[in-house]
Each structure stands twice: as C-alpha cells, then as structure tokens.
Structure 1
C-alpha cells in the first residue's frame, strides 16, 4: 500500500486525503493548528459563533463531490441554505443596491439605478467565461510546461478575456458608478485589484448571481467537520498540533517528513501549506533550483485582511447575511493597498452577519464578522496599531448609522500578522498570489515539484487558485493525478 503524507489539513489537504484514501492509499494528514479546515476556522466568543472564513459559499457541488466519491451522502453531514438576496451594498451617497440570484429583483433595481444596463447580455457572457473555465482550466493539474501545450487550452485561454481588466469589462455592461463598484468588488475574492486583474474572473459573478450563494446551517466550518468524519471512516490518520519542520529527500525523491521531531516515511508528500512560505522553509534551496528564493520573491502576495469579530446584544434589522459599506474612492483604496502597501484611509467594510440566516449560532444578537481589505505584511512597520484602526472602522460604521460600541459584548481582532503566523501565510496573504499580473493569474506555480519526485502542491498559491471551492478542486485534482500516474507505472 502506498503511503501518502499531507502537510496541512485545510480543505485542499482534506479533499486530497479523502480522494487518495478512497483509492486505497495509506494517508496521514499533519496539521500544525488545533483545528482542520485551514482558514475555515471556527471561533467562539461567549454565545457568539463565527466562521473566520470563507463566509460566502459558492459551487456547493464541489464540496459534495469530495464526500460522495466515497459512496457517502453529503446531506448526511451538512445542510446548505441558499441565500436568495444575499448581499446588501451601501454606498457613500446613501444608495443601497442588493445582489440577488433572483433576476427580477436585479432587473427592477437596474430600472431605477441604471436603466441602460445590459444585464441579460452580462449574464450570458459571464456564463460563457465560467463554462470555458469549468471545461478547460478547473479540472486540469499542471505539473510542467508540457501541460500548457494543448491547442484546446490555448484557444480557451484566448477566449476568456485575459488582456482585459475586470473594471473595463464591467464598464461594457453598466454605467452607474455604484453598480460598477459593487461588481468590481469581485476582484477581492481572489485578493486582487479590479483595475489590474483580468476579466476572466468575472465568472465569479456567475457563481453568485446564477448558481447561487450558500451558507451551511450551524456554520460553514461544518464542511471541514464533514471532511474529517469521512476521512476517519476511510481510516485516514489525522493529527493536529503537529508541525512539519522538514521534507526528507534522497536522490531527488521524496522519502517522508519530520514532524514534531519524528521521522514519518512516505512514498508521496502533498503540501497543502502555503507554497511560497512552506517550500523554502521545508526544503533546502539547493534541492529546489527551479523554485529558488529569488523566484519566490517575484510573486506578489494577495491582499490580507483586518478582521474584527464583534458579538452584539442586539440585531440590526436593515442588514442581510452579507453586507458591504463601500469607500468613496475605490481606486484610491486599491492604490493604497497595492502600490503604497498601507491600510486604506477610507476602507470598504464587509460585514457577515450569519445570525441573520441562522439565529442559533448567535442567540444573544448579531455576530458581526467585520473584514477590511488590508495590505500584506511586507510593510507592516507602517501598519497602524490594531486598536486604533479598529476604532477608525467603528467610527466609519457609526457615521453610516450602524451602532456597534454601545451593543458590544464580545470582541476579537485578527490582523495580517496574525494571519501570517496562524496559517503560515506568505506575507499574510489571504488568497496566496494576487492575480494583478497576467502571469500570476494564468501561470501559477505547478501542482508538482520540478525538482523532487512525488512532491505535490495544493491550495490557493497553486492551480487553480484561491477560494474554498478552488483549493478543494486542487486537492481532488492532485490526488487523482497521483492515482493515475501510479497506475501507469
């Protein structure tokens, strides 16, 4: 029986573990934290429960597939709740614009705010972008440059608007500045700027507006809990509080890992830890000439996050499950984040209030997961003190009519530095590599080491990218590639 060790128990690592375990592999998952799920981390503050992230679930069939490939039923493990009108956008001029999977609701809003909007044409085009990606990009595993030498892949790449920015794309269909700002926010789902990231990622709008936005009853972390239960049924060995300190190699062949001082043998190692952070840390530079420290430094990290978890003793009736309070100057906000590498002075503020949908997770009042886009930790000596920036955010929200301080019961702040340390995230990046550069958007690090045989990579830094469905896909893709390669030997 082939032995596989997986470094990191995020969604990518767990989906790879289940796929390999279901194919007869002896699998061990080593997670340095005390929970599985990676950034999908549960946080309990008194009676208030929070998902650290992700708060928005799309592509629910991906998480179901991980479980149902084993013959189990996903519905036996968690329950999806589809959010019809899911995101309320508040703008500096007082305008409110809701995002909904109900086309009638959207068309009615456009008739008032942007009567010349081409919404039907927009839906058609973003569906086309998604279908091309779903067929030609998402199922692939890129292990070398040879995997890019496909006429069908090249043709598809040229058809997904790789040279057009998201902002320019949205201007083709909408005119009202507030609506443009609402759609431009999709760039932050991949940790990037809408003024630089390619229009290809407009397909994210298709996921939300056509396929739908979901929440898992009891918290989205139920997905990770389900993966753990299925893995245990398959006999997969799961270890928390176990940090891998090195990968063992011999003659350019992986031999195992060292974790908590113990040598663990392996025929295959999958790294679900952040590639840019973990690979240089676990493998000496001379053993990875194709991925030198100099090359690592060329990658631009995605944005990070400044997060406040605020448990309140009241419920704000004018909010939905997802809420966004936009800055007055979006271009300036992204310039500060990426060019100046500093916190935005007038930030866009996202609030997830899952108790709007599921009061049981926060019976005393709202459970505000407040997230502000933050720069990476490259320039962290210039970051403002956390408490000072928290007060700045509260001030902005109170100016917009959202009272927090007078109703606050529980509170916790999570900074980019905390994200870097807790999740071993490269420079605190929340989504791995940004997609601001075309080569980083389409030519991400391979899913397999070029220098060490049987060392593979899954997660947000490699293909197909960041976000919970994508990292889950990467885990299944890599595991299936390992099984396929083994069968050809």
Structure 2
C-alpha cells in the first residue's frame, strides 16, 4: 500500500512476536511504523541466542498452526514459504515415563495403535477425545480472534454457542480423566498446561484444546530456529518502509491529557507518534513506562495482586558429538503431581523435577558445527515469588539440572562433552529481559485473568495506547500472540479511520459554516 499523509506514525515498544507481527501488518497498511527494541536482537524472549558456533532459540521452540503465520504474511503481501523453510515433525515429541516412551504423531490411527500397545483400553478414549475437542475447537477459535472489551462481549452469539463446551469450571486434568484411565496417558495430554505456566490441576479445562491442536495440526520447525520467523518479520517491516531499532530502549510513554503522544527513548530523544503499541512484558511495562501515579487500574500495588505464571531454568549447551534424542522430548518426574505442586503452590525446588530437552540438530544442521549438537534444556521452576534464592543458589541449581539431565540414558556423561554452556534463571529473565517476577509465560490464565478479565488490546487507561503479546487477550503461546497482533492492528486501524473521518467532517463543517 502506498503510504499517505493521512496514515499515522506508530511507535511499537518491543520487537517480540506480537510487536513485530503488529508492526508488519500496520506497515503493510501504509503506516509509518517505528519499532524500538532494548535488546540487540529481535524476537524478545523468543529471540536468537548464540554461544560460540552454536545457535539456540532462547524461548519458544514449539511452532503450532503455521496457517496463522501464513495468513499474517499474506496480509503483508508476502509468502511464508518463500521467506522461511518450515518442516513438519514426523512425531510430535517423545514422552518418557521411566522405561515407557510414548511418541504420538498427528496420524490418528498410528497414535491410537501406539496407545493400544502402551496403554491398553485407552485407544477408544483417545479417538473420542479428538472428536469432542474438534467440535470444541471450532467453537472456541472465534473467541480467540476478536477482542473482549467488556462484560457485554460475553452475551454475543459466539460465546453463547461456545459456552456448553468451554469446561471453564473443570480443570484440564479432570477433563482428561474422562477419556483416559492410565495416569501416564492423562499426563501426556495435560503437560501442555505448562505452556500457560499453570498446573493442569488448576488450569481451566478450556485449555485441553492445546494438546488437541498439537495432535490435529502437528508441530513444525523453521530451519535456523523459531527465531528466524522474527528476523524475517523485521526484514519485511524495513522493506515496507518501517524501521526496527535494536539496542534502543524506551524509557517512558509520553502522555498529554491522558492520550499518548509519543515515547521518550533512553538516550533522551523524544519521538512523536499518533499511536503507541506496547509489546513489552505487561507488568514491567505498567511499572516502568508510565509516569508514576498516572495509572489507576494497573497501579503497582494492583499488579502485585495478580497471578503470574511459573518460570523456567534454562541450560543451553553446545555439545561435542550427536545426541540420540528426538527433536522434542519430555522426561517426567516419578511423582509428577508432587513436582507440579512444588512449583506452583509450594514454590520450592523439586528434588525430582521434570525436564524438557530440545534437540533440533537432528533435523537442522544450521545450529551447530558438523557432528555437534545445540541442546536446549528447560526445567520448569517457581517464579521469583518462590523460596529459591537464585543469586545464592545459582551454581547449586545448575549442578542439579545437569545431574537431572545425566539421569536420562541418552545423556549419560553429557557434562564431559559440553563445549559451550549458559545457565539462565528466573532472575535472569527478570533482570536481563524485563520479565516481571521471572514469570516466563506472563500472566496466569485463571478464570479471573481470561478474555474480558485479561488486559485489553485497546488499553483501558490511556487513549491511543494498544497492547499486544502474551499479557493481553487472547493469551500466551505463539498462535494466540499472533492472534493478538491481528486483533490489535485491526482495532488500531478502525480507530484511526474513525478519528480521521470525524476530522474530515469537522473540517467540512467549518469550511461550509455548519455546526459539526
């Protein structure tokens, strides 16, 4: 689209997935888009991490529903397949319960046959689950594609139609217990609650759709890592005439008469803007980007009353040699429920933790030198409201994580093969990436923080400020963050058109002497 004088200037704070997707969509609509990112690389908590010759995704490694990305790229006049090479995984992941390993795929019959072999009698429950969840997904998806600005939005027909299948007052675990008798199989479909930073015994049953989405639509890997999506978006923004400023932090949003008029950069430069889009961590943005005392609903004391997700301890390892594990593997604690309760309710370190291992080098040769492995490992842990002193106990927790990894047969002797290593804790998430309380998955997704009760895409407190990302509706996780970008960009443009039309009417009235 040709940029015109009528199209405004947009300042986007943060080059995370939501900020970049919003910026790309608005740039394609002719806006002058300026993205400001504090870090040296784009992608936010999902950006590229490089250690020597090894490359890692810092955060998100599961790519689901690439069709959403295809639509976003198409809306910007680009083809996703021409911008990135994306491969589907044959198996979703391997799930390890001691000696039992379950490796489902999105082939319904193959997965049912594997369930019949490993968990006899539950194969019919699996097929029933997939049928029920497909009907549920079709009703829930429209709710993730539109804004929820007030309680009146709950009275709309799409909500009333979805209400019977939302299962919001049941937990994910309880819902899955209706389909599966074997505890290990229940856990195979409930561990996805961790994507939301919650316990499956507390997470609303609505979110059983997460495991359904994986089994129905598959998992994918962009060659070069998930971070390549965001470098592609940044490149397209520039091609469309926008700019992405890295190593360029925003100090404050400039407000006049409760309306955003621009941003103040850390270097003292004042940037005028017609709209400001916040893609920074929600609570950190509320605490630091506005003049003290300006916010009411999201004042600091009120933010502390909200519930935040659990966190993650990360160990990124450049390993000499190959690793005989699939692309994704989850290694469950012997007592998984106790492990989850320790993380989420007691907020202590688990003596027997679960751990996730990402081994993309089995598919992607670009991440490590030939014959070597870029190994990403994640251990869910409490956020910074927990009892772990990460500054004092850093070395002990890193050693415990490495010990847990070496308990995996395929990783025995791993520490002797490590050439590069970085341990990243909840304290690092907070201090280095401005993630409030180190809550990697942002605000929790309990009933009081979903849909209309989650921060709105159109910011409630200051005019011409917009929110995007995991801290706003519809929530965390890449597919929903991309949906938040579509919602926010659409709302912003609609508001802009309304204001512009109103300005034209006033101007015409003045010129003709009529009362506007």
TM surpasses 0.5: yes
2:474 pairs, out of 438, 456, 464, with: 464
- Note the C-alpha offset of 1:400: 3.1
Mapped to 2, the partners of 1:5 and 1:138 lie a distance apart of 25
Asked if residue 388 in structure 1 is aligned to residue 396 in structure 2, the reply is yes
Q: Deviations over 1:35-63 (max 9, x none)?
A: 11111221222332211121110010122
Partner of 2:437: 427
Counterpart mapping for 1:270-309 below 5 A: 270-309=277-316
Query: Larger C-alpha radius of gyration, 1 or 2?
Result: 2
Counterpart mapping for 1:334-345 below 5 A: 334-345=340-351
Mapped to 1, the partners of 2:283 and 2:396 lie a distance apart of 31
Mapped to 2, the partners of 1:58 and 1:356 lie a distance apart of 19
Partner of 2:407: 399
1:349 pairs, out of 350, 355, 365, with: 355
Partner of 1:251: 257
- Asked if 1 retains the 8 angstrom alpha-carbon contact of 2:27 and 2:33, the reply is yes
- Asked if 1 retains the 8 angstrom alpha-carbon contact of 2:87 and 2:222, the reply is yes
Detail structure 1 runs of 4+ shifted over 6 Å in the superposition: none
Partner of 1:450: 460
- Note the C-alpha offset of 1:195: 0.3
Partner of 1:242: 248
Asked if residue 86 in structure 1 is aligned to residue 95 in structure 2, the reply is no
TM-score normalized by structure 2? 0.91
Mapped to 2, the partners of 1:481 and 1:68 lie a distance apart of 19
Partner of 1:112: 117
- Note the C-alpha offset of 1:310: 1.1
Mapped to 2, the partners of 1:116 and 1:77 lie a distance apart of 45
Structure 1 residues 158 and 285, CA gap change in structure 2 (3 angstroms)? farther
- SS of the residue 2:329 aligns to: strand
Partner of 2:509: none
Partner of 1:100: 105
- Note the C-alpha offset of 1:352: 0.3
- Note the C-alpha offset of 1:74: 1.4
Partner of 2:272: 265
Mapped to 1, the partners of 2:343 and 2:447 lie a distance apart of 19
Once the two structures are overlaid, the 10-residue window that deviates more, 5-14 or 388-397, is 388-397
Asked if residue 477 in structure 1 is aligned to residue 487 in structure 2, the reply is yes
- Note the C-alpha offset of 1:250: 1.0
Mapped to 2, the partners of 1:25 and 1:370 lie a distance apart of 40
Structure 1 residues 145 and 289, CA gap change in structure 2 (3 angstroms)? farther
Structure 1 residues 447 and 59, CA gap change in structure 2 (3 angstroms)? same
- SS of the residue 1:99 aligns to: coil
Q: Which 5+ residue runs of structure 2 have no aligned equivalent?
A: 1-6, 500-516
**Higher relative contact order structure (alpha carbons within 8 Å, sequence separation ≥ 6):** 1
Partner of 1:19: 25
- Note the C-alpha offset of 1:145: 4.1
Mapped to 1, the partners of 2:148 and 2:158 lie a distance apart of 15
Mapped to 2, the partners of 1:157 and 1:354 lie a distance apart of 39
Partner of 1:2: 8
Q: Which 5+ residue runs of structure 1 have no aligned equivalent?
A: none
TM-score normalized by structure 1? 0.95
- Note the C-alpha offset of 1:105: 2.6
Partner of 1:439: 448
- SS of the residue 1:238 aligns to: strand
Mapped to 2, the partners of 1:245 and 1:277 lie a distance apart of 12
- SS of the residue 1:65 aligns to: helix
Mapped to 2, the partners of 1:215 and 1:451 lie a distance apart of 39
- Note the C-alpha offset of 1:150: 2.1
Structure 1 residues 116 and 331, CA gap change in structure 2 (3 angstroms)? same
Partner of 1:222: 228
Mapped to 1, the partners of 2:47 and 2:478 lie a distance apart of 12
Q: Deviations over 1:96-130 (max 9, x none)?
A: 11121122331122112222211111111222222
- SS of the residue 2:306 aligns to: coil
- Asked if 2 retains the 8 angstrom alpha-carbon contact of 1:47 and 1:364, the reply is no
Mapped to 2, the partners of 1:386 and 1:349 lie a distance apart of 18
Partner of 2:505: none
